[in-house]
Amino acid sequence: MDLPPGPTAPAIWQTIAWMTRPGAFLRRVHARFGDPATIRTYWTEEPMVLFSSPEAVRDVFRLDPAIAPAGQSWEFVRPFAGPHSILLLDGDEHLRERRLMAGPFHGERMRELTLQIILRVVFGARDDELTALRRAIDDTLATVRSLPSLLAMAVVRKDLGPQSPWGRFRVAVERFDAILFELLARRRDRTGEDDSMLAVLLDQRDEHGNPPSDRHLRDQLVALLVGGHDESAASLAWAFERLARYPAVQARLREGNPDYLDAVVKESLRIRPALTIAPRLLLEPVQVAGHWIPAKTQLAACIWLACRREDLWPQAGQFRPERWLDDEPAPNPMSWIPFGGGVRRCAGAPFAEMEMREVLRAAAGLTLRPARRDAERARRSMLVLVPHRGAEVFVG
């Protein structure tokens, strides 16, 4: 069984293109090889087959997790995420964890912004606690955010001591854990006093009535942080980068129509999705949209292409929230997949959309102008794509 065609350049070149110019790389691969296409990077051990048509995306998200698990795709964050993390588990353990973690997303518990917000909402952290946690997380993530570190970590996948990239990551994680375990000890002493997600997680009981261990709680909290912080921050940065270049959209947003606000959020997530792929590791050969794909392949619904393909979205390159309003045909839900899909669909999607709506609503009164005329390119920062100049806008 052959893999679909793809670039023949050495894996190191494909890795560099994937990391430094991810948007352009995916566009070129699609233009040259169509759908599906196979890429080879150091990001994963196996070759990766990218699919982006709605039929293929539906097939990928429907695959049985026993045949196409996704937990290993977050392997990269394992030292930080921890072994009990929902991000890394598969099968029954994963579903059990999803059920347990649904608790914090219920009701009115969700308010405020990305790291600050997530720290307050998830941990109920305030003042000194908030500062200490923020610093520890920034230090931890800083070790994996820079492009040289990311490349070095993708190529040399070993901890070669505290000065090496993986070693620096480990030391930062240990420092973060120490702060977190202290916080957990304090919180266990005063349950019932706050309404944070942590308080809800502390109340969890497994099927035998046991409360979660500190390690388990720690991994749940980090999954919420890793899942909830960078993606939201990147998506908001892109929303501002795009809005600044579309004064007519800003003007309409200012009118205060909630449907339009929602459309702006959906369109930002479409035109600049924070993650490029939703990958699954194939353990057995499967058929996706009529193509047989062999085992030991990474199969990815390519979020970036599905959300931006010209044949799926009229004027795909245009930031046009109007396409989400009632007077235009509804987009195919299988081509709008910024939150992935199937049993691994983003656990925080409603929270993330609400967070974006609230920020954009609050900012709607401002006039945004781009600091420079040319649009910002996408660059990688750990797992997410961010504007390469950090979304430079003048606010007036």
CB of 206 to ligand HEM, least distance (A): 18
Of residues 47, 69, 82, 227, which one binds ligand HEM by CB under 6 A? 227
34 three-state secondary structure: coil
Establish if 274 lies at the interface with ligand HEM (CB under 6 A). Answer: yes
Tell me, what DSSP letter sits at residue 329? P
Distance CA 16, CA 324 (A): 35
For ligand HEM, the closer CB: 41 or 232: 232
DSSP one-letter code for 162: T
User: Which residue from 136, 223, 302, 307 is in contact with ligand HEM, where contact means CB under 6 A?
Assistant: 223
Instruction: Tell me if 165 contacts ligand HEM by CB under 6 A.
Output: no
Considering only 29, 183, 278, 391, the residue that binds ligand HEM (CB under 6 A) is: 278
CA angle 262, 268, 271 (to 5 degrees): 135
HSE, CB side, 13 Å, CA atoms: give it for residue 355.
Answer: 27
> Residues 51-70: x/- map of binding to ligand HEM (CB under 6 A)?
-------------------x
Out of 231, 241, 267, 376, the only residue in the binding site for ligand HEM (CB under 6 A) is 231
The least CB distance from residue 250 to ligand HEM, in Å, is 20
Please say which residue, 150 or 347, places its beta carbon nearer to ligand HEM.
347
The single residue among 7, 54, 321, 348 that binds ligand HEM, judged by CB under 6 A, is 348
- Report how many residues bind ligand HEM under the rule CB under 6 A: 25
Determine, following the binding rule CB under 6 A, whether residue 340 of this chain makes contact with ligand HEM.
yes
Smallest separation, CB 32 to ligand HEM (Å):
25
Residue 223 Cβ vs ligand HEM, minimum distance, rounded to whole Å: 5
115 binds ligand HEM (CB under 6 A): no
Please state, in angstroms and rounded to a whole number, the distance separating the CA atoms of residues 153 and 201.
33
Q: Which CB contacts under 8 angstroms, 24+ apart, belong to 353-357?
A: 353/262, 353/265, 353/269, 354/110, 355/110, 355/112, 355/113, 355/114, 355/117, 355/232, 355/236, 356/232, 356/235, 356/236, 356/239, 356/265, 356/268, 356/269, 357/261, 357/262, 357/265
**Cα 160 from Cα 199, distance rounded (Å):** 38
Of residues 9 through 28, those in contact with ligand HEM by CB under 6 A are: none
Q: How far is the CB of 119 from ligand HEM (least distance, A)?
A: 11
Member of 351, 360, 380, 382 binding ligand HEM (CB under 6 A): 351
What is the rounded CA–CA span in Å between residue 393 and residue 60? 38
Give the one residue of 99, 111, 126, 345 binding ligand HEM; rule: CB under 6 A: 345
Q: Is 344 in the site for ligand HEM (CB under 6 A)?
A: yes
Task: List the beta bridge partners of residue 291.
Answer: 288
Q: Which stretch binds ligand HEM (CB under 6 A): 19-27, 132-140, 168-176, 223-231?
A: 223-231
Pick one of 49, 57, 68, 86: the residue that binds ligand HEM (CB under 6 A): 86
Between 132 and 349, whose beta carbon lies closer to ligand HEM? 349
Q: Does 338 bind ligand HEM (CB under 6 A)?
A: yes
Within 10 angstroms of residue 189's Cβ, the number of other Cβ atoms is 8
Cα–Cα distance for residue pair 396/394, rounded to 1 Å: 6
Alpha-carbon gap, residue 252 to 270, rounded angstroms: 19
Between 22 and 165, name the residue whose CB sits nearer to ligand HEM: 22
Q: Is the dihedral of CA 153, 159, 165, 166 positive or negative?
A: positive
For ligand HEM, the binding residue among 339, 385, 387, 393 (CB under 6 A) is: 339
98 part of the interface to ligand HEM, by CB under 6 A = yes
DSSP string, 86-141: TTT--HHHHHHHHHHHHGGGSTT---S-HHHHHIIIII---HHHHHHHHHHHHHHH
- Could you tell me which residues are beta bridge partners of residue 369? 394
Is the Cβ of residue 278 or residue 382 nearer to ligand HEM in the bound state? 278
Judged by the rule CB under 6 A, the positions of this chain that interact with ligand HEM are 70, 86-87, 98, 223-224, 227-228, 231-232, 235, 274-275, 278, 338-341, 344-348, 351-352
